[in-house]
Amino acid sequence: SSELTQDPAVAVALGQTVRITCQGDSLRSHHASWYQQKPGQAPVLVIYGKNNRPSGIPDRFSGSSSGNTASLTITGAQAEDEADYYCNSRDSSGNHHYVFGTGTKVTVL
Amino acid sequence: QVQLQESGPGLVKPSETLSLTCSVFGGSISSYYWSWIRQPPGKGLEWIGYIHSTGNINYNPSLTSRLSLSIDTSKNQFSLRLRSVTAADTAVYYCARIGAGEAGDAFDIWGQGTMVTFSS
């Protein structure tokens, strides 16, 4: 399968920890990348590779993976973390195609 | 700091061809792979395809029959042509850079996006 599945929505209290998951066969052999998208804006890369943050991304964002599931964890969520989050990876076809997850809306309460 | 800027018509008639260009500022287009991604209103992201200046091109299988990507290294631009468009192609179209090294599977820099609507 070339699909990546995410929970549609999750809520987290201010300052608490939230984990967003992404499931798909391709994740058994490819790392997931994670993107944050706020309304009306382009996505921003927050995690890539095994668990790497681009310059400027706070260290409260971290990534992990096990089997066919990748996770993005926000430790100590802030109000500005409220956004849509998408995972992506190469698909499992072997043809170097890319696929995005279905997206998760994170609400900070 | 590399920046990307999409350009093209915001309104296209059904059955016509959509043409978009992405200009790369602050770095050479020759060193990376470049991609197009789209997002229908209120929906998720869809990978369209990627291109490299060496001629390596790859398309989303669902768009292969209608899609052409090209690159102009002299202008530091790459382009998309999508033929026989329908209302289902209405979306924000983003251009993005595919990273290098361990970021080689990630889209590390994005343009601001351009909304394309199809209407007769």
Cα A38 to the center of its chain, rounded Å? 14
B76 in A contact zone (CB under 8 Å): no
Tens digit of each residue's pLDDT, chain B (120 residues): 999 999 999 899 989 999 999 999 999 999 899 999 999 999 999 999 999 999 899 999 999 999 999 999 999 999 999 999 999 999 999 999 999 888 888 999 999 999 999 887
The predicted-structure confidence for A14-47, as pLDDT tens digits, reads as follows 999 999 999 999 999 999 999 999 999 999 999 9
Rg, C-alpha atoms of chain B: 14
Reported confidence tier of residue A1, pLDDT bands at 50, 70, 90: very low
B102/A45 CB distance under 8 A? no
What pLDDT shows up at residue A2? 62
The DSSP output letter for A30 is S
What number of other Cβ atoms are within 10 A of residue B41's Cβ? 9
The predicted-structure confidence for A51-98, as pLDDT tens digits, reads as follows 999 999 999 999 999 999 999 999 999 999 999 999 999 988 888 899
B107/A33 CB distance under 8 A? yes
What pLDDT shows up at residue B104? 83
Give A-chain residues touching B107 at CB under 8 angstroms. Answer: 33, 35, 43, 45, 88
Give A-chain residues touching B99 at CB under 8 angstroms. Answer: 45, 48
Are the C-beta atoms of residues A1 and A27 closer than 8 Å to each other? Answer: no
The DSSP output letter for B108 is E
Residue pointed to by tokens 């260009």: B21
Interface with A, mutate which of B45, B57, B60, B112 (most A CBs under 10 A) = B45
Query: Which residue in the set B47, B111, B113 is minimally distant from A98, CB to CB?
Result: B47
**CA A36 to CA A104: how far, in whole Å?**
10
B44/A48 CB distance under 8 A? no
Give A-chain residues touching B37 at CB under 8 angstroms. Answer: 100
